[in-house]
Amino acid sequence: MMTKAAVLGASGGMGYSLVHELIAKGYEVTAFARNQSKMERLFKGKQVKILTGDAYEEEDVLKACEKADIIFHTVSVPYPDWDKGHPAIMRHALTAAAHEKAKLVIIDNIYAYGKQNGKKVKENAQKSPHTRKGRIRLSMEKMAMESGVPYMVLHFPDYYGPNAENTLLHQTLKPASEYKRAIYIGSLTLPREFIYTPDGAKAAVNLAEADHAYGQNWNIPGAGTIRGKDIIQIIRSETGKPASVMKIGKGAIWVMGWFDRNMREMGEMMYLNEEPVILSGEKYESAIGPLPATSYDEGIRATLAYMRKE
């Protein structure tokens, strides 16, 4: 019998890649998000059931997860809405998983780890988040632990890739794909970690298929670290033009925060551009095998090509 999977937040960066990975592996997939026209555009011609609705509404989430064996929770909300939005949506996902007796795969970021002093972070690292957003993420993890639902939490670094629009690197890559002036948030010389979303989706599905992986946290790192200046060099090589890039630091974010609440909220997370959290993938590789790791050169080129086709 074909395994059924529901992807909540299917129109986002990781959700989009998860849907494609699940289809490729023969799953019966329900893709759930808010925007009908965007979903139809993203998954045109694909063997996927599209359901639109509001993740804030429990009934909509229950409908999206009907008869699912595995639920992938990838829903993101704007920074200003985190306090109420994320806990509410997590409750709905847990309720749906309990109702369907399904497994829940929670796609998470690195905020709950807080500052980690430059060492590669393993899953047993103490989580003492010093930011409000990190504390919200940690509270969501505790909700899953106390729910009785079979769950796993997957920690990812910042995304880039096809349809990964609400990301730091999108601000660099999208204008560059159109030969426009781009911005880069943070230091151009500090090595940081990013994950190519198709790689993240492959790792997530591999873990979801392993019964022993549930009830645990898993770190999914990218293909090493890269400096902003090296990203710019890849862009220049791909486009054949000298990329015009404006670097934006903490001071500029602080000033913009006076006029834009999203920017004000971003200021809290700017520590990651000064003290990056780098994930260790040792646990995954010991339990599952080699991590999917597309090189930055190949991943950035593929992302730029996707953007040009939009």
Please say if the pLDDT value at position 234 is more than 80: yes
Angle between helices 296-309 and 228-239 (to 10 degrees): 50
Distance CA 63, CA 51 (A): 9
H/E segment holding residue 95: helix 82-100
Please say if the pLDDT value at position 56 is more than 80: yes
- Encode pLDDT of 88-143 as tens digits: 999 999 999 999 999 999 999 999 999 988 789 999 999 999 999 999 999 999 99
> What pLDDT band is residue 250 in, cutting at 50, 70 and 90?
low
Please say if the pLDDT value at position 241 is more than 60: yes
> What pLDDT band is residue 26 in, cutting at 50, 70 and 90?
very high
Please say if the pLDDT value at position 217 is more than 90: yes
Please say if the pLDDT value at position 213 is more than 80: yes
pLDDT mean over 291-301: 97
Q: State residue 278's pLDDT score.
A: 96
Question: In the structure encoding, which two tokens stand for residue 189, read together?
Answer: 């010389």
> What pLDDT band is residue 260 in, cutting at 50, 70 and 90?
low
Q: State residue 269's pLDDT score.
A: 76
Select from 31, 36, 29 the least CA-distant residue to 10: 31
> What pLDDT band is residue 287 in, cutting at 50, 70 and 90?
very high
> What pLDDT band is residue 194 in, cutting at 50, 70 and 90?
very high
Taking the CA atoms of 154, 159, 161 and 162 in sequence, report the sign of the dihedral they define.
positive
Please say if the pLDDT value at position 2 is more than 70: no
Distance CA 20, CA 6 (A): 12
Q: State residue 263's pLDDT score.
A: 60
Greater confidence, 241 or 217? 217
Task: Give the domain ranges of the chain.
Answer: 4-162+195-222+277-293
> What pLDDT band is residue 264 in, cutting at 50, 70 and 90?
low
Q: State residue 99's pLDDT score.
A: 97
Greater confidence, 182 or 85? 85
Question: In the structure encoding, which two tokens stand for residue 39, read together?
Answer: 């979903």
Q: Which of 44-53, 177-186, 254-263 has the lowest mean pLDDT?
A: 254-263
pLDDT mean over 155-183: 91
Domain topology for 4-162+195-222+277-293: Rossmann fold (3.40.50)
Q: Which of 18-27, 163-172, 194-203 has the lowest mean pLDDT?
A: 163-172
Average pLDDT, the chain: 92
* CA angle at 123 for the pair 163 and 129, rounded to the nearest 5°: 80
Question: In the structure encoding, which two tokens stand for residue 12, read together?
Answer: 């986002």
Q: State residue 137's pLDDT score.
A: 96
